[in-house]
Amino acid sequence: MSPRIKDATVEAVLAAADIVDVVSGYTSLRQRGVTFTGLCPFHQEKSPSFSVSADKGLYYCFGCGEGGDVLTFVQRMESLSFAEAVEQLAERFGVPLEYEQGAAPDSAARGTERRLSTLLEKTAAFYSRYLWESKAGENARVYLRSRGLARAVCETYQVGLSPDAWRGLHDRALQEGFTERDLEAAGLIVRRPGKAYDRFRGRLMFPLADHRGRVVGFGGRTLGDDKPKYLNSPEGPLYRKSHLLYGLFQARRTIADADDVLVVEGYTDVLALAQAGVGNVVASMGTALTDGQLDLVTRLTSNVTFMYDADRAGTEAVMRSGELARRRGLRPTVAVLPGGQDPAEVATAGGGERVRTLVGGKVSLLRFEVLRFLERSDTDTAEGRVRAFDGLREILARSTSPKEREEEVRLLADRLRLSPENVAYLLEESEREARNRVKSATRPQGGEVRLLRDHRERMRSPELAVQREFLTAALANPDTSAEALAGLTPEHFVDPVCAEAFAGLRRALTSPDPKRVLKELIGGDTEVGRFVIGLVMEADTGLYTQAMLNERHLRLQEQHLRRTVAGLRTSLEDDASDADTERRLVRLEVLLHQVRYLLANVDEG
């Protein structure tokens, strides 16, 4: 477990990091009064609804509801953990990092990591120049052209070529001040007693970058008959194959926008699809996905589409990867390739339109499993259909989607000539087993996004709009809103997010240290926190006057009284002899009349 970053360091990073400078790296901002506005980098839009407050250090999109501080922004945009975002901003703005367990024990290891990272970055640049600028690179350039891969896409992924010499990289690295120990730790050379030589010689080189874009290793493809055909860096301090997806750094924004990741097997598959305009593509590098790779995927989407080669090995990898994704609560689908073709060949021959057509025709993992099982089954005899029935029931039980199972049962009833009773039995048994599996499945991160989207839809109703506007006006007029807030209760707010935000704002605006309480309220990247960030940003627009606060306060009370009166009337319909309820109803109806009179004569300003 890595040491926890000290709170003081986090505060120092937040104070030093210029949120306008950081956000401007992703979208163009224009200053309007005390805020900056631009197109939202989190969703597609034509009119700017994204706002950044340099004074408060916050951002918020009034279109999609994304909001937070500079750390939240970097986490979202770069798909980083909280600690990774702190470390990245600390390095950018020159803030020393301190950890709860002390920086000293880690300082030597971190220094080594930085040195190795620099070596790997320089190596990638060296290989790239050697490919494109040397005479020896002509054969590799011819090979790339024969695969339909242009220089532009190769440079985007830093494709290079290693010299066909025993110590081509070794000697150059020593000249630059690196040691053989550095080269060996980075997986770039092989050391034997009395000698050392380059690990990669005369190979087309594919730099392997982590999700932050840092080169951590290489994959090398032979251009001749050397074995193995593909050679990867050995596991080391930086390179762990099971925690990498080739192309993820380049694809991360497109994956988030598409809310889907297309997983292929090889490096050239990624290059060909990206060149064809299909940018949400990554490669599992020839093997089935791992838990570590799925951890990276779930930061961006809960939808995974597999486009593996249509051979036996590819089919088995889809099965293993898809089952692992399903257990993680993701939604796995399969884009089936024409027989004998790999994704790169499809993209090169048919372009992006052909790839998108195949992806558009993708099937659920369950349908893929069912069809593959039926292909291998004897469905012509009664005995064969019974055996197929048992196998298919096990397949159906692995799915966590009742809708998917119902769709497949209709197919099976036709293919296996099952009676309606057997179909019902098949569905009942598979659903029972699937329910047990759902209990242990991890809920996808997209669930929180859907909850936030549902909340924004609810907030469009006139009643909830009043509640939001009252809270915004309270923030815009902190000197006069404490009394209005004190006279209300969470029951005045029908939306649970509004009610929780009200309780937090009341604590903040009646506290001796309102900034501290407000900071706690918007921290933690919660649904309520993002909602309050939106209120804070909207309060800066200058539209929420004292008169508007007074008017929305009256409307809020009118809504609450109306709901209470309606409830009491319903109660009296059930028991007309309840005198206490009747007296309370009369008092509240008089009060409701008075509030409506005030509203009829109020000046909103």
CATH code of the domain containing 221: 3.90.980.10
pLDDT at 207 > cutoff 90: yes
Q: Residue 129: its pLDDT value, please?
A: 97
Whether 151 maps to a domain, the answer reads yes
Same domain, 225 and 252: no
Same domain, 381 and 461: no
Same domain, 396 and 516: no
| Residue 444 banded pLDDT, cuts 50, 70, 90 | very low
Whether 102 maps to a domain, the answer reads no
Span 151-170, average pLDDT: 96
User: Which of 125-129, 230-234, 244-248, 426-430 has the least mean pLDDT?
Assistant: 426-430
| Residue 419 banded pLDDT, cuts 50, 70, 90 | low
Pairing of strands 303-306, 331-334: parallel
Give the DSSP letter of residue 5: B
Span 41-50, average pLDDT: 85
pLDDT at 339 > cutoff 90: no
Query: Strand, coil or helix: what is 32?
Result: strand
List alpha helices for 134-165, DSSP H.
Answer: 138-146, 151-156
- Domain end marker among 383, 412, 440: 440
- Tally of domains within the chain: 5
- Domain end marker among 212, 239, 266: 239
Same domain, 570 and 546: yes
Summarised one tens digit per residue, pLDDT across range 285-316 is 867 788 889 988 887 888 999 999 888 888 89
Domain containing 554 equals 450-601
* Whole-number average pLDDT of the chain: 85
Q: Where are the beta strands (DSSP E) in 316-406?
A: 331-334, 363-364
Give the global pTM: 0.68
Nearest to 13 by CA among 77, 57, 52, 61: 57
Span 501-516, average pLDDT: 87
At 173, phi and psi to the nearest 5?
Answer: -65, -40
| Residue 422 banded pLDDT, cuts 50, 70, 90 | low
Taking the C-alpha atoms of residue 374 and residue 310, their distance in angstroms, rounded to an integer, is: 17
Whether 575 maps to a domain, the answer reads yes
**At residue 365, what is the residue type?**
L
Pairing of strands 303-306, 363-364: unpaired
The domain spanning residue 77 has which CATH number?
Answer: 3.90.580.10
Span 389-397, average pLDDT: 79
Q: Residue 451: its pLDDT value, please?
A: 43
Same domain, 380 and 343: no
Element at 582 (helix H, strand E): helix 579-601
Summarised one tens digit per residue, pLDDT across range 215-225 is 999 999 999 88
Dihedral-angle region of residue 40 (phi above 0 means left; psi in -120 to 50 means alpha; beta otherwise): beta
What CA–CA distances, in Å, run from 135 to 130, 132, 178? Answer: 8, 8, 27
Query: Strand, coil or helix: what is 207?
Result: strand
Q: Residue 427: its pLDDT value, please?
A: 60
Return the C-alpha torsion angle 231, 234, 239, 242, nearest 10.
70
